[in-house]
A and B are shown apart, each in its own frame.
Chain A
Amino acid sequence: MQAGSLGEADATGVLAHGVGSSADLPLPLDLVLQAGAATVVLSFLVSALWWREPRLVAAEPRPPRASRWVRFAVLALALYLVGNAFLGPRGPENPAAHAVFVWLWVGLIPLSVVFGPVWRTINPLRTLYALLRGLLGTRLFGGRRLPAGGLRPLPPGSSAGTWPAAAYLLGFVWFELAAPHHGDPVAVGVFLLGYAGTQLAFATVRGEEWFARGDCFEVYSELAGRLSPLQPSPVQPSSVQPSSVQPSPARFGPARFGAVRWLRPLSGLAAPLPAGAGVAAFLAIWWGSTVFDSASASPFWAGFVQRAGLPVLWATAGLVGFCALVFAAVRWTAGRLDVTASLIPIAVGYTLAHYLSLLLVEGPRGVLLLLQQWGIGAGARWDVVPVPEVIAGAQIALILIGHVLGVVIAHDRALAADPGRPPLAVLADELPMVLFMIACTWAGLFLLFVR
């Protein structure tokens, strides 16, 4: 992580690519062809032969519990990173970009896949919101407490989808993949401040339930957390449904590290998703932006943009175009059955495959940058170079596992939707979905092959 820059070299420019660009070798052809064939074979084995009746038992994913000190620690770290983005070094030694693009955007997926929707538990915005409300309720501010449901809660019965989170996610991926100077710590700081400010404002209007459908990282973690095999057993309903949490600092109650039970596999994915097409839009932006990140790293895209000029405009158009295309495909294949839940494991598998080496190389490097700011571990380096064959194998495995889980979910839901239906009719019902999933998986394999 050293830049041999000369004189007044633009150090921020180095950082702009230091994080986020993957250096993986392209997948070998034989592996891609085998995986592509396996995709088709497995899809039809699952849906035609192996699985004749619905077997999945739905279980809502529940956020894990954590002590309030964990929440305060996460909040303190977040505040420090934002402050440090503005006041700290303005070069590649600032950990701000690593924190947002590696720890949060990539690291949240494995964390959620293991422990469930963790971001809902430790979301620093929720902690901050609760603290601010508590502060407003003290005598210092006249004791006028903000109502629990916000200033203007949604009318009861109105279905609030996750569209706001999808919009915020589009803003985030635009910042990550299309905005100029996105690696500059000050730009990261401005983005985070804008994000936090608008989120807190919306939460003030709509109440704390806003975060569950407006904060894109919470929805991200919630969807990835549906793959988690762990479920904390309910202690009291208030810890499960934040909308009914009593409005006082007392919600930071004693730590309950308690019973965690193992779920039957895939229970979380079988549980119904939030209503509306907001989740489909969210997944389309999630998967579409990752695909765009792969495609735009190719020399072809770079050559095209150089000829055409206006790189930010083309990147924006490409990004939005990819996401819109995926969303249109999801909606188009959705007939009686919906492919949205199946897209979750596919998106998780592909995102992990795409960013795996980034997580392994840049994640710990960001920790080192943070520690070295405080004088700890000066001179320590993280120069791990992943073995290409291992990375390639892991990428293929992740993509295939994601695909098979997606097909299993789609097939099981198709069987459950219509218990008495003959198997061939069910197969015909789910055929568009399975073909769509095969197309998604092939696109992912293809992009990792030509990259």
Chain B
Amino acid sequence: MSGLPLVALVGNPNAGKSALFNALTGARQKLGNYPGVTVERKAGRLSLSDGRPVELVDLPGTYSLDPTSPDEQVTRDVILGKQDGEKRPDALVVVVDASNLDNHLRFALELIALGLPTVVALNMVDLATRDGLELDANILSRELGVPVISTVAVRKRGLDHLRQELDGLMNGAPAPYTKGPAADFDTVRSEARRIARAAIVRETPSRRLTAAVDRVLLHPVIGFIILLALLFVMFQAVFSWASAPADMLEGWVTALGEAVTNTLPPGIVHDFLLQGVVGGVGAVIVFLPQILILFFFILMLEATGYMARAAFIMDALMARVGLSGRAFIPLLSSFACAVPGIMATRTISDPKDRLTTILIAPLMTCSARLPVYGLIISAFIPARDVGPGIGLQGLVMFLLYVFGVVGALIAAWVLRLTVTKGQSSGFLMEMPKYQWPRPQDLLIGLWQRAVIFLKRAGTIILFTNIVLWVLMSFPKAPDGVRQSEYSIAGRIAGGIHLLVEPIGFNRDISLALLPSMAAREVAVSAIATVYAIDAEDDVEALDKGLGERLQGRWSLATALAFLAWFVFAPQCISTIAVTRRETAGWKWTGFMIGYLFVLAYVAAGVTYWAAVAMGLG
């Protein structure tokens, strides 16, 4: 916590709060967590016009101070000064959507009644104009008793004005006049309505873009096909768009490795840097482009307002397995990473619904598994087209995702009939207006994801690789014995190998399984390290791509079984930790680990035996 004055940004969901937050703070944001809960804390620094810094915190959107889900609880607690680790805000910026005034003003009135210094940002006035609404901010300000600034966050309009008003508030301008404690819900609502009507100067019924687009996108058949097509394009893009930048990164990693070889004398330091650090971490870093492309699509779907439509389309299907369309959003986020996915279940109010969603979230193929899939697919699946614009590699990748999804739906269905039995909860959701996202907002989002990924590569993945390298390098194997088998790690892997041999896993895989629990991507770097160590100073072998070396040592059946394992296997330590925190204990976490292990073992086994039977062994 900084000692700076704290200003909280608060408002209804879809009021354009995050865009305003980005416009006010730029890229200087800090992501963190509130202690004890997994709701993300987003804070940034803002300079007032006299240069004085204040800390701006972006609170989760909510409809009232009467929370129905855990993330809304945080907003309420921060504003009331009851949240651990956060002082009570010194001032509030209440964000309202100009084209949805009567609804958003009700919450604004509730907030103003708290008596904190407040300024209202009348946001997205441009979209209101598009909707045929003309508003008078002065009337609004007079009626509410607080300053009201018209803003268009995405075009940076009104921001200086907003800063000036904050200036005034922070310099001891009088707090709003309040008529005492908040009145009951209906009274506040009619008051909000009255004020909204007073502030609307002109209202012409106009053709609404959103309604027209929805006629297509929410169509029961066409909408469903469009959603599937979108997802398909997304996964194809992950493969095809990423290849050029990934090759470039790989070139850099190779160059770095050569630089190490050329500058350092042969010896333990040289081996450590080349095999443990450059080889291991480098093998993971080349997947940054794919991960960013995936996040780009997810951020786009969120920012345009399409995500809520996807939930609408999926609700009927989700209802069949006892979930709601709302669960689709955390599940789709889990394709990027299960940790934010599981955190996003905090918007689901029904506890059993939420628990089921958490339990199946790891079955959505997260981006950390992309390196594993990417490596195996490019090594074993030929790069040819099976149709116009449809590559076989992309298709296999898509199928792996589909297996995860189908497995998740079946798992949810079984869970809802057994351990998480209960009445299925409803589906109530706002469908936001469509918007074209501002490129900067997307870039900030991508930048944050890139930093998180690189931090992982530099900390947890690097650390695991170093430990692994040490375990694999000692004791030194005598001539004629493979180092990866003779070492400590090799002996541990030997034990694991006994368990996984029936499902077609070789010793390399056995060795990779354990460290891959720290982070999925480590499976790739672990295998890379195995081959780097075994190759020793065989420069020719090191020059060969990892994929090429795999082709020589794995059968296709083994490779397919390995892929099937990774579709279902229990996920990394971070996922397990967040599950433990979210389900408040080890009971459901242990259950999750157990059922996923069984699923993974069976899936890999069936794949292996089937492939061998077809003569691919």
Determine if chain A interacts with chain B. Answer: no
